[in-house]
Structure 1
Amino acid sequence: MTVQETSLAAPERADIRRLGIGSGTALCAGAVLGPGVLTLPSLAAAAAGPASILAWVVLLAMCVPVAASFAALGARFPDGGGVATYVHRAIGPRAAAVVGWWFYGAVPIGVVSAAWIGGKYVADAVGWGEPGAYAVAGAVLAGALVSNAVGLRMSGRVQLLLGGLLAAVLLCTVLTAAPQVSAAHFTPFLPGGWASVGSAASVLFFAFAGWEAASHLSGEFADPRRDLPRVTRRTLLVITVLYLGLAVVTIGVLGPAAADTDTPLTELLARSVGSAARPVAAAAALFLTFGAVNSYLAGASRLGAALGRDGAAPRLLAKGGAPGEVPRRSLAVLGGTAVAVGAAAGFGGADLDLLMRATATCLAAVTLAGLAAALVLLPRRTPLWCGAVASSLLTAAVLAFAGWLLVIPAVLACAAGGFLTLRRGLR
C-alpha cells in the first residue's frame, strides 16, 4: 500500500535525480510490501484454506501487466503525479478527483488496520489479549498523528530500512519454517469451493497495492525508459519469492490452525525457532506498523491538501500544503476519521478482516482506474496493452467479490462528484 502525495495536475519535475536501480528497487518493493502481509496469510487461509495459494498465484500473475503498465506510463510521462495524473490525462479532472478521494478515504481504514496488526503481535507476545491489542493499536495511531502534527517525518533511509526489515523477517520466516511443511496440510485443497478463492483474493489485494509507486518515482530516475522496467522486474521477483514462500509455509506448517491465528509469522517462527521468537516478532511488527502508519498519514495529509488546493476538495484542507509546512487540517480529518473507525472496530463494529477488505476494495478501485488510463494512453493492440486489458478484467473480478463493500468507493465517488458539481454551481 502506498499513498498519493502530489497534486492531481502533473507537477514540475526536479532537476536532480538520484535513484539508481538498487535504491529504486528497494523503494518500489517497500511500497508493495506492507504490514498487511503480517496477517494476510491467515485471513486468506480462513477464506479458502489451502486453495488460498491459488489466490496468491492469480494476483501475482495479475501484477505482471499491472506493474508493466504503470512502469510504461511512468516512462512516458515521468512526473510525481502518479495514477491521478494519468487518469486526468486519459479521462479528465473529475475522474482524477474521484481517484484522489478513493486514496484519501482508504487511508483512515488502512492505518487502523496496520496499527491493529502491530497491536495483535505485541498482545500475543506478552499475553495482554484483545484489550491489549486495542491499546497498543491506539498508541501507535496516536504516536503517528502527533509525529505528523509536529512536523516530524521519517527520512527516506529510515523508510528504506523498515522495508528491508520486513523483507528480511519474511525471508527468515520462510527459510526457517520450510523444513516443517507437511503435504497432508494441503488436503482437502478446495474445502470452500471456487468462490472461496475469489473471497481470498479480495482481501489479499491489500498486499498487492502499491505498483503505482513506480510511476511516482519515475521522475527521480536519470533514464526512466531504461531504469523503470529493470526496477519493475526485480521488484516482481522479490515479492513473488516472498509472497509465494509465505503462502506455502503458512498452509504447509500450520495446516488448519493457519485460519485461527492473527499472528501467523509468530506461530511459524515459534515452531521453528522456539518461544523466544515471539518478542522478536512482536518488536519487528511494532516498528513496521508504526513506520507504515506514520508514512501513510504523512502522504495522505498532503494528498488532502493538494485536493483542497486544486479545488477537488474543500479549500480549507489546502492550508499547510506548501513545501515545508504541515497540513494539520487535512491530518485532523484523517485522524478524526481513523479514531471513529477504530472506535467502531473496538466496540465490535468491524474485525481486522473487514477493515482490510474495505481498504483493499478502495485500492483495487484505484488500480482499476489506473489501468483504464493505461488503456487510453498506451499504444493499442500491443502485448502490453492486451496485458492491461487482462489485468483490468481480473481487477474488476476481484472487486466483484468485495460485495457490499463496493458501497465505500461508490459513496466516495458520489461525494467527490457532488462536491465538484456544488463548487461549479457556486461560481
Structure 2
Amino acid sequence: MSQQLKQEITLLGGVGQLSTTLLGTGLFMIPAIAANIAGEWSLWAWILLLLAICPIALTFALMGRQYPNAGGTAYFVRQAFNSKMERSVAWLFLSVLPVGLPAAITLAGGFGKELLPSFLDYRYLAELITLALILALTLLGSKSSSQFQALIALSIFVLVAVFFWQGNISLDDIAMPSLNASAALPIGSALAVMFWCFVGIEAFSHMGEEFKNPQRDFPIAIVLGCFVAGFIYWACSVVILKFHAFEPNVASHSSIPWLSEQLLGNKLAVVITVIGYFACFASINLYTQSMIRLVWAQAREYRPTSAIARLSKRGVPTIAAYAVAAVLLFSISFGHLVNLDLELLVKLANSVFVMLYLLAMLSAFKLLTGFAKYLAGFSTLLCSIVFLCLGWSMLYAIIIFGLLMLPWEKWFVRK
C-alpha cells in the first residue's frame, strides 16, 4: 500500500482550513478583550499584529513550498539540524495533546451543550460528541475536512458582514483613531493578548504534503488565510467598539452573542451558537489532524513496517487517528475528574506553540538563501521577543524540550 498521503487539498480548502483555525475561539473573546485594553487603538493593534505576523507566515510558506511534508516543523528541524532534534520537536508538539486540545474541546463543549436536548445538556457529553465528529471527519480524508472548514470560514465571514449591515457601520466608524505617545502601552498590552489569534500556522504546516499543488497553493493559502482571519478580526472589532460590546458593559466571552441579540434579535441565537461551536471545532480539528499526521510521519520514517505507519484505502493514517483520539478521550475524562484549571493548561500549551514557531524560524534561517534567509532571521527575532514575553509559562516548553534533548538512548544502551 502506498505510504504517501493523498494530495486532495485545494487552494480554497487550504485558505478555509487556516483562516478558521486562526479564528477558532478567538473571534468570540479576543476582539472584546483587546477593546477593553486599548479601546479604539485596538484597531491599530490588529493592523500592527498582521504586519508582524506576515514575516513569520511568509517564512512558513517558503519552508512549506520547499519542504512539503506531513512532519511539519519537526521535518524542517531535521533538514536544518539532525534527526535527534527532529524527534525532540515532534514530541514537543505532541506534548500539547494532553493539555491544549482538551481545553479547546471543553470550550467547544460549552457551545455544543446548548444545542443538545435538555435531558442531554451536559458539557462532558458535548465534548465526547465533538471528539467523535473530529475522528469521523478524519477518517473521511483531508478533502472532506478542508471543504467542511471552508464552509465554516464562509459562515463566519457572513456573520461579521451581517453585523456590519445591521449595525449601519459608516466611514466614521472605520476611521482609524489618531496615535500619540500614550497609545504605545495599551497597544502593546493588547498585542500580547492578540498574538494568540495567529497561533495555528505551525499546525497548518503539517498539511503541505496533501495539497494538490503544494509548490503553488500552499504558500498562497498561508498568506491569504492570515489576511482573511486578520480582516475578520479587525471588522469584528469595529462593530464591538461601536456598540461598546466589551467589559465592563459586556463580558468578553459574551460579546458576539450579545451583539447578535442587539442587532438580529433572539431568533438567531441558535444560529450564533452553531457558528460558535463550529468555529471552535474547526480550530480543534486542524490541530488534531496535524498531530495525527505527525505521529504517522514519525512512524513512516522510523518504524515503516509498523501498523501505525499504514494508510487506509482513503489515504488516512487510521491507527494514528485512533491513538490520538484515545489520548484525547483520556485527557478530557481526567480533566473532568480532577477539575483541572483550563486557563493554566492553555498557557502551558501556548508556550509550546511559540517555541515551535521559534525553532521553525531558526531552521528556515539555516536552510533558506537570499532574501528568504533575511526574512527568516527577522522572524526569528520576532518569535524570540514573544517567547520572552510569556514569562514563567515559557519554562514549561523549555523544560520539556530540554528533557527530550537529553541522550536517553545512549544511557539506556549503556545499561
**Post-superposition CA distance 1:344-369 (Å, at most 9, x none):** 5x46x344xx5444333321221111
Q: Are residues 1:64 and 2:50 paired?
A: no
Q: Are residues 1:164 and 2:150 paired?
A: yes
Match of 1:4 in 2: none
- The correspondence of residues 35-46 of structure 1 with structure 2, limited to 5 A, is 35-46=25-36
Segments of 5+ residues of structure 1 without an aligned counterpart are 1-10
State the alpha-carbon separation in 1 of the partners of residues 132 and 230 from structure 2.
36
- 1:94 corresponds to which of 75, 84, 91: 84
Q: Are residues 1:393 and 2:381 paired?
A: yes
**Post-superposition CA distance 1:24-68 (Å, at most 9, x none):** 433443444434333332344455444444443233112222222
Moved more, 330-339 or 281-290: 330-339
State the alpha-carbon separation in 2 of the partners of residues 210 and 350 from structure 1.
19
> RMSD over aligned Cα, in angstroms?
4.0
How many percent identity over aligned positions?
Answer: 22
State the alpha-carbon separation in 2 of the partners of residues 286 and 64 from structure 1.
28
CA apart distance, 1:319: 6.3
- 1:326 corresponds to which of 316, 319, 330: 319
Instruction: Give yes or no for contact 2:17–2:146 (8 Å, CA) kept in 1.
Output: yes
| Number of aligned positions between the proteins | 396
**What SS is found at the alignment partner of 1:80?**
coil
- 2:401 corresponds to which of 408, 413, 417: 413
**Post-superposition CA distance 1:101-122 (Å, at most 9, x none):** 3321223333233233334445
Match of 2:331 in 1: 337
CA apart distance, 1:208: 1.0
**What SS is found at the alignment partner of 1:379?**
coil
Instruction: Give yes or no for contact 1:177–1:249 (8 Å, CA) kept in 2.
Output: yes
State the alpha-carbon separation in 1 of the partners of residues 219 and 285 from structure 2.
29
- 1:278 corresponds to which of 260, 269, 282: 269
State the alpha-carbon separation in 2 of the partners of residues 149 and 123 from structure 1.
19
- The correspondence of residues 114-263 of structure 1 with structure 2, limited to 5 A, is 114-121=104-111, 135-136=122-123, 138-145=124-131, 153-178=139-164, 179=167, 194=184, 197-212=187-202, 215-221=205-211, 224-257=214-247, 260-263=251-254
Match of 1:266 in 2: 257
State the alpha-carbon separation in 1 of the partners of residues 19 and 43 from structure 2.
21
- 2:101 corresponds to which of 106, 111, 133: 111
Match of 1:3 in 2: none
**What SS is found at the alignment partner of 2:266?**
coil
Match of 1:422 in 2: 408
State the alpha-carbon separation in 1 of the partners of residues 204 and 293 from structure 2.
19
CA apart distance, 1:376: 0.7
State the alpha-carbon separation in 1 of the partners of residues 3 and 192 from structure 2.
36
User: Which amino acid letter does the alignment assign opposite residue 115 of structure 1?
Assistant: I
State the alpha-carbon separation in 2 of the partners of residues 95 and 33 from structure 1.
31
**Post-superposition CA distance 1:265-320 (Å, at most 9, x none):** 21222221112232211122234434544554454355346557867xxx9xx864
**Post-superposition CA distance 1:165-216 (Å, at most 9, x none):** 43234323322333356969x9999999745544443443332123246644
Segments of 5+ residues of structure 2 without an aligned counterpart are 313-317
State the alpha-carbon separation in 2 of the partners of residues 268 and 53 from structure 1.
18
TM-score of the two chains, using structure 2 as the length reference:
0.78
Moved more, 27-36 or 408-417: 27-36
**What SS is found at the alignment partner of 1:326?**
helix
User: Which amino acid letter does the alignment assign opposite residue 127 of structure 2?
Assistant: L
TM-score of the two chains, using structure 1 as the length reference:
0.76
- The correspondence of residues 353-372 of structure 1 with structure 2, limited to 5 A, is 354-372=344-362
User: Which amino acid letter does the alignment assign opposite residue 253 of structure 1?
Assistant: F
